[in-house]
Amino acid sequence: MIFNLYIFDRSGTCVYYSEYHRPRKATLSQDEEFKLTYGMLHSIKSFVTRISPKPVREGLHYYKTSTYKLNYFETLTGLKIVLNTDPGVGDIHDLLQQIYSQIYVEYVVKNPLCTPGEKITSELFETRLNALITSLPYFAT
C-alpha cells in the first residue's frame, strides 16, 4: 500500500505533498509536519554517512518500522522524493527515479510556468504522477 509522498527541494521546502492512504492523521499542522519530516531526514542522512563503516555512495535508501516503510531518493541536485509505503513493499528505488526523470523533470523543470523553489501547482504534473502511482500493483493492497 502507498501512503503518501513528499517532494522536498534543496533548501528543504516541501514543494509537493500528496496523500493516497493515510489511516492515521498527523496531530500537527501540515507545515510543521513538513519541517519535522525534513529535519528528521536531514539528521538520518548525516547520521548514516558518519556512522557508516564503509565509504558512503548513496547513503539513505529507506527505513522501516513495524507500520510503514519510508523510501528515500535524492538527486544530485538535492531534490528529495520521499514515499511512504507499507513495510511489505520491496525495493522501489527505480520507481522514485522514474518519478524524478519522467514526471518531475518533464512537467516541472520543462514547464516554464513552474517557478523553481515554489509549490508545484501544475495540474498536468499531478495528473501524470497520480496516474503512475495508482497504476502500481501495490497501490491499494
Partner 1 sequence: MTSAAGAINLLSQAAPSEVAESVFDFLHMEMVNYVQQSTPAGASHKDEVVYKLERIGFQTGQATIERCTKDVHRFKDQLDVIKFLCKEFWTLAYGKQIDNLRTNHRGVYVLQDNRFRVFANISNSKQFLENAAPYAAFACGMLRGALANLGIVSVVTADLGQTLPSCLFQVKML
- Give the shortest CB-111-to-partner 1 separation in angstroms: 5
**By C-beta, is 112 or 137 nearer to partner 1?**
112
Q: Where are the alpha helices (H) located in 1-141, listed in sequence order?
A: 30-51, 93-98, 123-134
State the minimum distance, in angstroms, from the CB of residue 101 to partner 1.
Answer: 12
Shortest Å, Cβ 99 to partner 1: 16
Cα–Cα distance measured from residue 89 to residue 101, given in angstroms and rounded to the nearest whole number? 22
For residues 19 and 133, what is the distance between their CA atoms, to the nearest angstrom? 11
By beta-carbon proximity to partner 1, the closer residue of 33 and 106 is 106
Nearer to partner 1, 98 or 111 (CB): 111
Task: Give the nearest distance from C-beta 23 to partner 1 in angstroms.
Answer: 31
Residues that bind partner 1 (CB under 8 A): 106-107, 110-113, 121-124, 127
What is the secondary structure of 23-50 as a DSSP string?
SS--SS-HHHHHHHHHHHHHHHHHHHHH
